[in-house]
Structure 1
Amino acid sequence: MTDNELRELITSLAVAQAKTDAQLAKTDTQLAKTDAKLNKLAEMYGGVGNNQGKVAEEFYFNSLKHNPVLNGIRFDFIEKNVTRSKRGIEEEYDLLLVNGEDVYIIEVKYRLHPKDIERMLGRKLSNFKILFPEYRDYRIHLALATFTLDDDVKQMALDQGITLLQRRGEVIETLSA
């Protein structure tokens, strides 16, 4: 290879590198725009999901507040969105129904998924026992309240001993395990 050929090769490589750099800059700009659009969509749809969850929580809270009976057990009071923190553990519970002997932990989901059942039986229940020692001698009951769920998820919850609350018009249908 001659000196001239080497210079031409280096020049062509420099031109190709400049084109590649320009294309990468253009791609970076496009990715930033795409990320912004995705973030906007996530915010929009996340807001929809949160709103649906709030609607479900309000429905079940108001229904149980006016008639605090579940599975034949009358409760003295209902609490909503109870958060407690202790020894580095923090947990939020959607609804708690309490009387002198029983406590019902109720998690509300617009649409119930298998992971919600696993979370209730695992983390939520074990953390409740740590965070609420005042209920140590109470019978602890678990319930999942939902507007919609699939039959297999319904059966999974019932098989695990979880009470299900489902909306049927303006009333609550209770399915006991």
Structure 2
Amino acid sequence: MTDNELRELVASLIRAQVKTDAQLAKTDAQLAKTDAQLAKTDAQLAKTDIQLAKTDAKLNKLAEMYGGVGNNQGKVAEEFYFNSLKHNPILNNIRFDFIEKNLTRSRDGIEEEYDLLLVNGQDVYIVEVKYHLHPKDIERMLGRKLLNFKKLFPEYRDYRIHLALATFAVEDEVKQMVLDQGITLLQRRGELIETLAA
């Protein structure tokens, strides 16, 4: 290799190094810009997290106050049927002495809540209230609710036990399923209760 060739090689290496240094400087500047943008994004995310936490707290407070729409509708239905039956405690031509609401009992590891119980000296009506009645409510009534009632309320073992489902909304086929199972159906009709005996 001649001196000129060596000089040309060194010069080309220097030019390449200058280009590389310039590219590295450009890359460093781009990385610094990206880091600044990431820092800005992180700050915005932190603000968003704080706002979401505030919103969640407000939503939780509202849910506690109002119990959710589904719970409110169910409570409205329960209150309607309780007040109506308290005012006129007759179902299927049977007069009852008293009515109980939201009765919960626990025994031997079994716990169950019953929306309404109507009782006289020989009959007890178990009334479960649903805003919108579904087939699973029929299964639950005939299965778990009835079986647990017999275990949890032995004082009614010699009583005639009657079952009723009370609702504001029910499809015709579900209504027929209720009646086919021998369960009384209570429906709201204006400000009155319509009783459909099984």
Query: Could you say which TM-score interval applies, normalised by the shorter chain?
Result: 0.7 to 0.9
Q: Residue 114 of structure 1: which of 128, 135, 150 is its match?
A: 135
Q: How many residue pairs get matched?
A: 177
For 2:140 and 2:110, locate their aligned partners in 1 and report how far apart those are by CA, in whole Å. 15
Alignment match, 1:102 = 123
Amino acid at match of 2:117: L
Q: Aligned runs of 1:77-96 on 2, under 5 Å?
A: 77-96=98-117
For 2:184 and 2:133, locate their aligned partners in 1 and report how far apart those are by CA, in whole Å. 13
1:139-175 superposed Cα distances (whole Å, 9 cap, x missing partner): 0000000001000100000000000000000000000
For 1:168 and 1:75, locate their aligned partners in 2 and report how far apart those are by CA, in whole Å. 22
Alignment match, 2:13 = none
1:114-163 superposed Cα distances (whole Å, 9 cap, x missing partner): 00000000000000000000000000000000001000100000000000
For 1:44 and 1:120, locate their aligned partners in 2 and report how far apart those are by CA, in whole Å. 30
Q: 1:45 Cα shift?
A: 10
Amino acid at match of 2:98: F
5+ residue gaps, structure 1: 1-38
5+ residue gaps, structure 2: 1-59
Structure 1 runs (4+) deviating above 3 angstroms are 42-46
For 2:100 and 2:155, locate their aligned partners in 1 and report how far apart those are by CA, in whole Å. 15
Whether 2:94 is the aligned partner of 1:73: answer yes
- Give secondary structure in 1 for the equivalent of 2:118: strand
Alignment match, 2:171 = 150
1:60-89 superposed Cα distances (whole Å, 9 cap, x missing partner): 000000100000000000000000000000
CA RMSD of aligned residues (A): 3.3
- Give secondary structure in 2 for the equivalent of 1:57: helix
2:188–2:194 Cα contact (<8 Å) kept: yes
- The normalised TM-score by structure 2 is 0.69
For 1:43 and 1:73, locate their aligned partners in 2 and report how far apart those are by CA, in whole Å. 39
Amino acid at match of 1:51: N
Alignment match, 1:130 = 151
Whichever of the two has the greater Rg, that structure is 2
For 1:166 and 1:160, locate their aligned partners in 2 and report how far apart those are by CA, in whole Å. 17
For 2:67 and 2:83, locate their aligned partners in 1 and report how far apart those are by CA, in whole Å. 24
- The normalised TM-score by structure 1 is 0.77
Amino acid at match of 1:164: L
Higher RCO (CA < 8 A, seq sep 6+): 1
Cα 1:152–1:43 change in 2 (3 A) is: farther
Alignment match, 2:80 = 59
